């Protein structure tokens, strides 16, 4: 994570990360070029009513924007790759697994099942932007997943009411699992017909499509709800998925997810610390500690 002391530095890095000009950024959030220039030089603050537009367009955390948008900014750390913010350098990394286990029963009122009609625009924008592919998400797939598995398809909103994270898990057919495992298909190819009612399966297979949060606190509550589902699942199951994230490589292994294959070529292309990978396993040993 990088420490930001001003909104101007954050906006400048946002443009560099997404390789857009000041003019393109201005068009994205519906302001004139001069306004962007003044913001980046820290000559003026963003009007409070404009903060919402910036959050919705850039999907940067509201708290991050709000902290830096003041006469006396609150220094805040942020990572454009993981889209996480933190007030303290020591809380940049994901917490130890014991943190989740010790307080797994804590719940948050800010987490709810995805409301497809209301939330899909945020989910689609976030995932498409993260993958840098405007057609990555199939909305019918997400809608079907919510219908079949509402317990593991949920969204988190911050105290301010803005989107702060989500969990999207798919109950997939055995044939779908085999195709994903063998690289015959990828996340982008998944459609509603690849899903199934997991309760009808002898060995349910769950596919971690996308899980993210804007801070460690958000991730804590998201993963708490995620793990509670499997803690209460009274049957054998298989969890699998594909990820390009660097920050959960070791944690995945510690919870019982083993790497099936890695994409070293894509790792070099994306300049990642760890290779994108397909993993599988279950959490029984981890959750029994």
Do 226 and 147 belong together in one domain?
A: yes
CB atoms within 10 A of CB 139: 12
Q: What percent of the chain has pLDDT over 70?
A: 97
For the segment 85-116, what is each residue's pLDDT rounded down to a tens digit?
A: 988 875 556 666 777 787 888 889 999 999 99
Question: Which stretches of the chain drop beneath a pLDDT of 70?
Answer: 90-96
Q: Cα separation of 175 and 156, whole Å?
A: 31
Q: pLDDT for 189-218, tens place per residue?
A: 999 999 999 999 999 999 999 998 888 888
Among residues 91, 110, 140, the one where a domain terminates is 91
Question: Cα 166 from chain centroid?
Answer: 6
Q: What is the pLDDT of residue 66?
A: 92
Say whether both 59 and 147 belong to one domain.
no
CATH (domain of 46): 1.10.260.40
Identify which of 74, 221, 31, 181 has the alpha carbon closest to the alpha carbon of residue 23. 31
Give residue 93's pLDDT.
Answer: 61
Domains contained in the chain, number: 2
Residue 69's φ and ψ, nearest 5 degrees, are -95, 70
- What is the helix (H) or strand (E) element at residue 170, kind and residue range? strand 163-172
pTM of the model: 0.85
């Amino acid at each position: 994570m990088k420490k930001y002391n001003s909104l101007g530095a954050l906006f400048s890095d946002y443009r560099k990360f997404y390789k857009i000009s000041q003019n393109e950024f201005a068009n994205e959030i519906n302001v004139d070029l001069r306004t962007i220039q003044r913001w980046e030089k820290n000559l003026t603050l963003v009007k409070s009513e404009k903060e919402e537009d910036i959050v919705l367009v850039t999907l940067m955390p509201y708290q991050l924007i709000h902290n830096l948008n003041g006469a006396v900014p609150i220094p805040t750390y942020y990572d454009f790759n993981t889209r996480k913010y933190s007030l303290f350098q020591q809380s940049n990394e994901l917490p130890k697994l014991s943190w989740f286990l010790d307080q797994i029963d804590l719940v948050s009122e800010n987490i709810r099942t995805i409301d497809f009609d209301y939330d899909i625009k945020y989910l689609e924008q976030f995932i498409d932007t993260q993958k840098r592919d405007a057609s990555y998400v199939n909305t019918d797939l997400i809608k079907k997943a919510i219908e079949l598995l509402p317990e593991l398809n949920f969204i988190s909103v911050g105290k301010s009411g803005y989107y702060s994270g989500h969990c999207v898990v798919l109950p997939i057919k055995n044939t779908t699992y085999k195709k994903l495992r063998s690289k015959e298909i990828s996340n982008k190819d998944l459609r509603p017909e690849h899903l199934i009612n997991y309760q009808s399966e002898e060995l349910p297979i769950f596919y971690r499509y996308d899980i993210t949060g804007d801070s460690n606190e958000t991730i804590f509550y998201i993963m708490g709800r995620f793990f509670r589902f499997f803690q209460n699942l009274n049957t054998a199951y298989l969890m699998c998925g594909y990820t390009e994230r660097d920050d959960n490589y070791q944690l995945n292994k510690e919870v019982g997810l083993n790497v099936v294959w890695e994409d070293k070529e894509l790792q070099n292309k994306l300049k990642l610390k760890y290779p994108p990978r397909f993993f599988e396993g279950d959490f029984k040993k981890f959750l029994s500690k």
